Structure 1
Amino acid sequence: MDFSEDLLRVLWHEVGHFCVDLLESEANPDFVVDDFWVMYNENAISKHKWGGGVRMMPSVKWNVLVEDLDKTSFSMLGSISGCVFETVFLNEFLQKNVRFEDCFNNKEGCAGQGDFMSFFMMGSELRKKYGRNPDFIKFSETELFDIYYKQLITNKAFLEQLNEIVVKRRDKILADYKDSDNKKEYSHHLIKDDLDILKNHVTEIMLKTSFKEMILDIKEVIRAKMEIESQV
């Protein structure tokens, strides 16, 4: 994967988190997405030299998070969303043949390693609080991705419009990178006005393409499974 394509990959990954985080912050006004960034490191141990992140504040400890099943269901969906979007981008736009697990695993240097750890930490805290439920474990670890992925790839309008946003953002970042003094280590943060512009654009297409409805429906499925677990 070349330099530009790898940047597109990480942007798709982070926008995947961003979309769910925006919907979560809309449902929970006490939380806000306050940073979106990508970074390049020529000496990164990963095969991918581009990385990135999305930050929602305030942060919540896992054992506190699982007290609120609604927020936990959003968080579990958000944690897999980066790798779901990345997988869709690679397969649908670059015509690759990759699996979700190629991104979402615990291998050092893997794009979704941190997401993987977060997801299973939530699962661990849920079991500590509510007990072990094999049905929920099977759903969250083997079925949830398939549900999300299969619904997402059918929403062509959302994917095409999101890709336009991502490509424009890629072009701006590449121009900024070209003008930067340090080409070996570089970072680009979207904050304040730039972040608000991205929020507005993404929120608009999530609403008009029914992506928002899809995510809220999947979130409710997770919530229902959690409620069953909490009663076991």
Structure 2
Amino acid sequence: MNKENLTRVFFHEIGHFIAFELSYKLFNIGLGTEHIWIKPYKLNNYIDYGGGTKPKKPKDYIPRKKGDIENPVHFMAGILYGCLIQTIYLKSITNYNFSKCFSFDEEANGKHDVIDFATTHLYFNGKKRKKILDFINNKYIDQLNSDKVHLEKLFKFSPLDFAYDFSSEQFLDMELIRKSLKDFLIEHEVHYSFLIKNIEIIKNENNT
């Protein structure tokens, strides 16, 4: 087991979880998180991990046509939060930046998030998407990094707290995750609301 790589992927998926849960709780958008999975794979002669965080969907959910996004602001936040939390975690132990995760690079954890990011073009033109990334890099990450006590309530956890064995694909204990992160999520509401507000402002700017 490569614990360093496993932990990196774990916090990436927890980032998506945070966004899904708070969009539901604070804004009644979506239904929260159905499950998180992590599995190992071999990459360039070492063990790495991939993962996914699946949002809950209503039983009568009908897939929309490509490019049609019901709640683009929250969809955008959900896309960004995986790399965002991963970046903040890694910044605490090494020199790491958001673009290393949020990249088309084959080894980047956020390569699929970047693909989803591009699908928002009907709601956020290129200039607006760049402005959102600038806001993340130049303001939001620093804001979260300054709240060390708050972040410790998240980063004290390990993927091994929520599954016993990662030698194969594992689904994390969602009930235990929600219980363990309850206080963190309550405190995080003000930060997440600030992000949503700023994405909305950028979305509503005149296209130029």
Query: What TM-score range do you get, normalising by the shorter chain?
Result: 0.7 to 0.9
Q: Unpaired segments of 5 or more residues in structure 1?
A: 178-182
Residue deviations 1:180-217, cap 9 Å, x none? xxx4xx11103xxx31221233232221x3x2111111
In structure 1, the partner of 2:115 is 117
> Conserved in 1, the CA contact under 8 Å of 2:21 and 2:31?
no
In structure 2, the partner of 1:157 is 149
Task: Return closer, same or farther for 1:133/1:81 CA change in 2, 3 Å cut-off.
Answer: closer
In structure 2, the partner of 1:7 is 6
In structure 2, the partner of 1:189 is 171
The aligned amino acid for 2:136 is: L
Alignment of 1:49-64 (within 5 A): 49-58=48-57, 61=64, 63-64=67-68
TM-score between both structures, scaled by the size of structure 2: 0.84
Measure how far apart 1:228 and its partner are: 2.1
Q: Please state whether the residue corresponding to 1:63 is helix, strand or coil.
A: coil
TM-score between both structures, scaled by the size of structure 1: 0.76
Structure 1 stretch displaced more, 105-114 or 143-152 = 143-152
CA distance in 2, matches of 1:115, 1:203: 26
In structure 2, the partner of 1:143 is 135
Instruction: Tell me the matched-pair count.
Output: 202
The counterpart of 2:178, out of the listed 199, 207, 217, is: 199
> Conserved in 2, the CA contact under 8 Å of 1:32 and 1:57?
yes
The answer on 1:176 being equivalent to 2:153 is no
Task: Return closer, same or farther for 1:91/1:47 CA change in 2, 3 Å cut-off.
Answer: farther
The answer on 1:223 being equivalent to 2:200 is yes
> Conserved in 1, the CA contact under 8 Å of 2:23 and 2:30?
no
> Conserved in 1, the CA contact under 8 Å of 2:24 and 2:30?
yes
Task: Return closer, same or farther for 1:220/1:45 CA change in 2, 3 Å cut-off.
Answer: farther
Overall identity of the aligned pairs, in %: 21
> Conserved in 2, the CA contact under 8 Å of 1:206 and 1:212?
yes
> Conserved in 2, the CA contact under 8 Å of 1:46 and 1:109?
no
CA distance in 2, matches of 1:133, 1:113: 18
Task: Return closer, same or farther for 1:91/1:76 CA change in 2, 3 Å cut-off.
Answer: same
Task: Return closer, same or farther for 1:154/1:113 CA change in 2, 3 Å cut-off.
Answer: same
CA distance in 1, matches of 2:99, 2:169: 27
Name the structure with the higher helix share.
1
Residue deviations 1:131-171, cap 9 Å, x none? x574x24412323333221111112122111122x22x325
CA distance in 1, matches of 2:161, 2:30: 33
Q: Please state whether the residue corresponding to 1:54 is helix, strand or coil.
A: strand
The aligned amino acid for 2:87 is: T
CA distance in 2, matches of 1:78, 1:160: 22
* Bigger radius of gyration among the two: 1
Q: Please state whether the residue corresponding to 1:64 is helix, strand or coil.
A: coil
In structure 1, the partner of 2:16 is 17
Measure how far apart 1:29 and its partner are: 5.8
